[in-house]
Amino acid sequence: MGQTPRESPSETAPAVRRWLLFVHQLPSSHSNLRVRAWRRLQQLGAMPVKQAVHVLPDTPASREDFEWLKAELTAGGGDAIVFAATTVDQWSDDALVEQLRGARAAEYAALERDLQQALKRLATRPSRPTPAIEALRSRLGAIESIDTFGSSGRDRVAALLAKLEERSTIMKHTATTLEPTRPAAKAYRGRLWVTRPRPGVDRMSSAWLIRRFIDPQARFGFAADRGAVPAGAIPFDMFGVDFSHQGDGCTFETLCRTFGIDDPATARLAGIVHDLDLKEERYAAPEAPTVAAMIEGLRLSHDDDESLLTHGMTLFESLYRSFERAARPEPAPRISTTTRARAARRQASRKKR
């Protein structure tokens, strides 16, 4: 009788899946460190299985992410340990996988809702959709990067994003061919621009925008409301004036739209200002929390409104330059004449052989 062939190990038992566990302990008095740890674990897609215990599939990327977080928490006075396991308490592999898939599916669903809303806004108010598209595309990429097990919802989101990009392109083309009449910028040169005292994110950024793109010689003053604005001055970010909130946009966006300011760096700033001023997460710019903290620090450091506004404008100029540089393509490396000559000699030498 012939001997029954033996099944290969892959046919008799599935491969053992390994998991990475991140266990951390933080000082109770350090609330900022706790918030940072929570946000970072959310960004990594780590699933909580017990208090202060999170799990990810054991991959080189997950291990590196956990090690970086461990170093950050340790530097802040906390403690953390990372170790690998084939089982996690009472959880089965399938249960862990389904939990991770469910978490990513929920994120895809939230992104899908935001894409649907963006499509509706684009249909009714087509101006300046680009920052939203960039932020939504970034969110999709972030979810995909931690979607280890192929969760449901990704294809629907990708299709909606493609639809939004296509419609945005059409709207931009239409807006270019039917460009509305814009106010002559020179009519606003050398003027006094007046806003409310104790400037915050919208007033700081708008003042910066005015001086950089509209009125380089702009002077700024403060008044409690439009009734107290001096004759001949231009009020902004006040109730009932032209250069203020319009529709669902902030003053910064109104100025951009009115004067046709639409470069990529300003668009990124518009997303940050919109979310901070209107308490939204439409654009979800990663820099927004840091910008909010810096503005709050400026408001605490400067009692004088003029000084506060000046420092706020400097902050936005710094951000703009950083974003502008990031938007520029890297120049091609220059090759010297000597290097070219050496390469030509090497190539000629190879041909002789």
Query: Mind listing the pLDDT tens digit for each residue in 99-115?
Result: 888 999 999 999 999 89
User: CA gyration radius for the chain?
Assistant: 27
Which residues are CB-neighbours of 201 under 8 A, at least 6 positions away?
273, 276, 277, 291, 292, 295
Question: Is the per-residue pLDDT at 49 higher than 70?
Answer: yes
pLDDT band of residue 178 (cuts 50, 70, 90) is: very low
Q: What percent of the chain has pLDDT over 90?
A: 40
pLDDT band of residue 9 (cuts 50, 70, 90) is: very low
Residue of 109 and 36 predicted with greater confidence:
109
| Helix intervals (H) in the chain | 9-12, 31-44, 60-75, 93-124, 130-146, 154-177, 201-209, 251-259, 264-278, 288-301, 305-327, 337-352
DSSP string, 216-257: TT-EEEE-SSGGGSPTT-EEBSSTTSSBS-BTTB-HHHHHHH
Q: Identify the pLDDT of residue 295.
A: 96
Q: What angle do CA 180, 210, 125 make, to 5 degrees?
A: 35
pTM value > 0.85: no
pLDDT band of residue 127 (cuts 50, 70, 90) is: low
pLDDT band of residue 31 (cuts 50, 70, 90) is: confident
Give which of 49, 80, 85, 50 is closest to 65, Cα–Cα.
80
What are the backbone angles phi and psi of residue 272, rounded to the nearest 5°? Answer: -65, -50
C-alpha 265/C-alpha 134 separation (Å) is 12
Q: What angle do CA 134, 137, 140 make, to 5 degrees?
A: 150
Q: Identify the pLDDT of residue 8.
A: 46
pLDDT band of residue 94 (cuts 50, 70, 90) is: confident
Structure tokens at 279: 């308490």
Q: Identify the pLDDT of residue 33.
A: 84
Residue of 174 and 259 predicted with greater confidence:
259
Q: What type of residue is 219?
A: R
Q: What angle do CA 105, 111, 115 make, to 5 degrees?
A: 140
Question: Exposed, middle or buried, 181 (CB in 10 Å: 0-12/13-18/19+)?
Answer: exposed
pLDDT band of residue 30 (cuts 50, 70, 90) is: confident
CB 80 within 8 A of CB 34: no
C-alpha 248/C-alpha 274 separation (Å) is 9
At 193, which helix (H) or strand (E)? strand 192-195
C-alpha 123/C-alpha 136 separation (Å) is 17
Three-state DSSP at 127 gives coil
CB 82 within 8 A of CB 70: yes
Residue 56: strand pairing partners: 20
Average confidence score pLDDT of the chain: 83
CB 120 within 8 A of CB 50: no
